[in-house]
């Protein structure tokens, strides 16, 4: 990664990318176990990882991570990614520090930028300084018997966004299944009422055993937003990640969103942005 600016830590960038590749692999593995014979899979091709979920065309469950991070990608690399089954081209999440040639290749091959997301990191070896009044928000781990409640709360918390309920259910179900392997799930309550939910996946990213805690699937029910629920869920998971032996915690959010601001308030710092590319429809002649 000699093409990176000198101010950038290439090892940390690669560790974050590795964690995100592992995360989508574990999502697909969970869905394979839950919903048999539905074609959920990941493919390691051209130094990338691609998740494919045939019932859901959304990029959240049909996308590629790592494109252009190991050097200059080729047309053959891109074709190998495009040909991962089923039909339909996955979206490519391209780190801003990908090789410069990646951008030209994508545009030459008919891709266009759809949106951007920001990636955040906190070094958990430093003083977390998270002791502060959480107000009336109480955080608890989700017991196995309450997994259906977690799935329902997660879907309800995201329902007023732009994602389909079927996709929201897939994401929540995969997180619930992963509690048997790498994930801890959390409820937020106020005066006994369930108001939010979130997950923490602890992922080992190298042979030295470095673990990264991925803060994901954060959701606050609409009637309880603006009361600090997301902040408390973030800080509780940072503490849980440190206790689990994670060196770093990571999170992603849409650029400039309220979630991105909350993540930064919790002490995670932006490390890079990813631009998301999709294949433009072929022009009819």
For 123-271, CATH number out of 3.40.50.300, 3.40.1260.10, 3.40.630.30, 3.40.718.10 equals 3.40.630.30
Per-residue pLDDT tens over the stretch 127-156: 766 555 577 999 999 999 999 999 999 999
Q: HSE on the CB side for 106, CA within 13 Å?
A: 26
Based on C-alpha coordinates, what's the Rg of the chain? 19
Q: Please report, for the chain, the start and end positions of each structural domain, with discontinuous segments joined by +.
A: 10-119+274-279, 123-271
Model confidence pLDDT, tens digit, residues 179-213 = 989 999 999 999 999 999 999 999 999 999 999 99
DSSP annotation of 146: G
Beta strand 63-65 with 91-95: parallel, antiparallel or unpaired?
parallel
Q: How much is the pLDDT for 131? A: 58
Please report how the helices 165-177 and 10-34 are oriented relative to each other, as an axis angle in degrees rounded to 10: 100
Give the chain's largest Cα–Cα span.
63
Q: What is the pTM of this model?
A: 0.93
For residue 171, give Cα distances in angstroms to 152, 203, 277.
11, 17, 21
Flag whether pLDDT at 55 surpasses 90: no
């Amino acid at each position: 990664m000699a093409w990176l600016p000198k101010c950038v830590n290439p090892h940390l960038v690669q560790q974050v990318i590795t964690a995100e590749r592992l995360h989508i692999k574990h999502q697909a593995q969970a869905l394979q176990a839950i919903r048999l014979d539905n074609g959920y899979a990941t493919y390691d091709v051209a130094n990338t990882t691609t998740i494919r979920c045939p019932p859901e065309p959304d990029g959240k469950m049909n996308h590629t991570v790592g494109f252009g991070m190991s050097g200059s990608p080729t047309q053959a690399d891109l074709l190998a990614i495009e040909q991962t089954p089923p039909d339909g081209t996955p979206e490519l999440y391209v780190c801003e520090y990908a090789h410069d040639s990646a951008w030209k290749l994508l545009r030459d091959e008919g891709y266009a930028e759809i949106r951007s997301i920001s990636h955040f990191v906190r070094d958990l070896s430093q003083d977390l300084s998270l002791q502060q009044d959480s107000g009336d928000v109480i955080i608890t781990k989700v017991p196995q018997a309450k997994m259906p409640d977690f799935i329902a709360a997660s879907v309800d918390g995201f329902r007023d966004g732009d994602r389909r309920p079927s996709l929201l259910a897939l994401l929540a179900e995969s997180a619930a299944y992963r509690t048997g392997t790498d994930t801890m799930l959390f409820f937020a309550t106020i005066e006994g009422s369930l108001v939010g939910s979130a997950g923490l996946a602890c992922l080992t990213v190298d042979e030295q055993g470095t673990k990264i805690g991925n803060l994901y699937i954060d959701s606050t029910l609409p009637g309880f937003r603006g009361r600090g629920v997301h902040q408390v869920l973030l800080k509780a998971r940072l503490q849980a990640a440190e206790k689990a032996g994670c060196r770093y915690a990571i999170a992603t959010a849409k650029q400039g969103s309220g979630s991105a601001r909350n993540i930064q308030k919790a002490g995670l710092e932006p490390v890079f942005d990813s631009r998301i590319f999709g294949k433009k429809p072929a022009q009819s002649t």
